[in-house]
Chains A and B, each alone.
Chain A
Amino acid sequence: MDGTVIRSAALASLLIAAPMVAEAHQLVVFASVDCEAVTVEAKFSNGNPVQQADVRVLDGQNALLVTLPIETDGTVTVPLDSVDHSEGLLIEVDTGSHDNYWIVTPDDIARNCQS
């Protein structure tokens, strides 16, 4: 069910590891997923896309899988077959002065892959 609190063990462990950042001029990070890839989007709270940042992809055990540069349109694509996503993924975006994260849960992958 979409509206309930996500309770997976993988998410719980990711949440513990995830940075809790919410500053002025906030960085908004979101990741959508389908059967093929995770598409990461990052923008500032004024709507401007992030131009330069490191995107770190971690697995459900908080192990770093890959670090990618963000594109100038504020997005980056992570092929699912390039990472171990069985326990979900933690996506961190770090501009150097701002950082935030998005958690891709196993439920997200399953739900969007079915649709």
Chain B
Amino acid sequence: MKRHLVTASLSSLIAATPVLAHYGMIIPTDPMISQEDGRSVGLTMSFSHPFELDGMMLDTPAAFSVTHEGATTDLLGDLESATVMDDQGYTLDYPLDRPGTYIFAMEPQPYWEPAEDAFIIHYTKTYVTAYGDDEGWDTDLGLKTEIVPLTKPFGLWEHNVFQGIVKMDGEEVPYAEVEVEFFNNGAGATVPDDLMITQTVKADADGVFTYAPPSNGWWGFAALNTADYTLPQEGEDKAVELGAVIWVHFEEWTGQ
């Protein structure tokens, strides 16, 4: 009997789906737009498991904006509904009228995750530079929670380190936990263990974290903290996970 229990237990473990990290995603067609690339950038927004390429429902975001040269413009009404990773997402083609860094930011609606008995809100952003001008690459948008880059968040070689400061309500978050995941789109990356789908680093006492990716491509950094408020779900107050997400592209090294 004891042996049967052990066997049954093992079977259920094997059948269990690993808990995949959720990521808000804003992926541009190119993080560095030159004049030869055209006069706009395409963006694809989703709520997904980026390594597994598993999409989830992204309801119409609560906010979507672009910040350039200190001015923030509401783009929520410009989003186009689209299917991304077989689920609801959005796209946008945004004209780049001037040089400089454009920061696209999305605040999704709270996502109820029964498996975690909590809501999830990922404040998601990415940085796009236009026409050879990187001014504004370290812009702090002042979001509820945010990763402010210490490393220029574009023009990075694979294996370069990326550093950022995790902030919540404008303050650094000491020892914040930052999940890191690769957007496995067309790369065919595999893992020897599910633990490696999402890697985790911790910030230091000043909220600064460091990571060096093993390959080129899009890498998502999500600093997760619990909100100081709750939201109602079927008459009960539930915790809210706040994610500060930034997507950074690393370029393939071209040397020998």
Contacts and interface: CB of A to CB of B under 8 A. Distances in A.
Contact of A28 (B37, B39, B40, B133): B133
A20 to B, nearest CB: 10
A26 B37 CA distance: 19
Interface stretch (A3-11, A53-61, A62-70, A71-79): A3-11
Which of B38, B93, B134 gathers most chain A CB within 10 Å? B38
B132 A32 contact: no
A2 B134 contact: no
Interface string B65-99: 00000000000000000000000000001010111
Contacts of A47: 135
B155 to A, nearest CB: 11
Nearest to B39: A2
A109 interface: no
A45 B132 CA distance: 9
Given A30-B133, A45-B134, A2 B99 contact: no
B41 interface: yes
Interface string B123-140: 000000001111100000
Contact of B36 (A15, A100, A108, A111): A15
A43 B133 CA distance: 9
B42 interface: yes
What class of interface size applies to chain A in its complex with B?
Answer: 20 to 34
B7 interface: no
B185 interface: no
A5 B39 contact: no
A33 to B, nearest CB: 11
Nearest to A15: B36
Contacts of B132: 22, 26, 28, 100
B40 A3 contact: yes
Contacts of B95: 2
A6 B133 contact: no
Given A3-B42, A5-B36, A30 B98 contact: yes
Contact of A4 (B38, B97, B131): B38
B35 A2 contact: no
B126 to A, nearest CB: 16
Interface in B106-144: 131-135
B190 interface: no
A28 B98 CA distance: 12
A25 to B, nearest CB: 13
Nearest to B41: A3
A3 to B, nearest CB: 4
Interface in A91-108: 100, 102-103, 107-108
Contacts of B41: 3
Given A3-B39, A30-B99, 18 more contacts: A1-B40, A2-B39, A2-B95, A3-B40, A4-B38, A5-B36, A5-B38, A6-B39, A15-B36, A22-B132, A30-B133, A32-B97, A32-B98, A43-B133, A47-B135, A107-B39, A108-B39, A111-B39
10 contacts: A1-B93, A2-B95, A3-B39, A3-B41, A5-B37, A5-B38, A6-B38, A15-B36, A30-B99, A30-B133
Interface of B: 29, 35-42, 93, 95, 97-99, 131-135
